[in-house]
Amino acid sequence: MKNWSVDATLEEIRIKINELLNNYDKEGAVLLKNIITTTPDENECLCNQFSKIISDEEFEKYCICIVVAWVESYRHLNEKQFRENLLSKYSKIPQHFQGKYLKTYRNVFYDYDLETFGLEFSSIKNIEEAIKRQAEADV
pLDDT in tens, 10-20: 999 999 999 99
Distances (CA, A) of 31 to 1, 8, 16, 119: 17, 24, 17, 15
Residue 91 lies in a domain: yes
Residue 4 lies in a domain: no
Query: How many domains is the chain partitioned into structurally?
Result: 1
Identify the CA nearest to 39 among candidates 72, 13, 16, 78. Answer: 72
Identify the CA nearest to 49 among candidates 16, 97, 23. Answer: 16
- The domain containing residue 57 runs over which residues? 10-136
Residue 44 lies in a domain: yes
* pLDDT at residue number 139: 54
Give the pLDDT band (50/70/90) at residue 25: confident
Residue 38 lies in a domain: yes
Residue 1 lies in a domain: no
Residue 88 lies in a domain: yes
Residue 5 lies in a domain: no
Q: Is the CB of residue 112 less than 8 Å from the CB of residue 64?
A: yes
- Rounded Cα gap, residues 81 and 31, in angstroms: 22
* pLDDT at residue number 9: 92
Give the pLDDT band (50/70/90) at residue 1: low
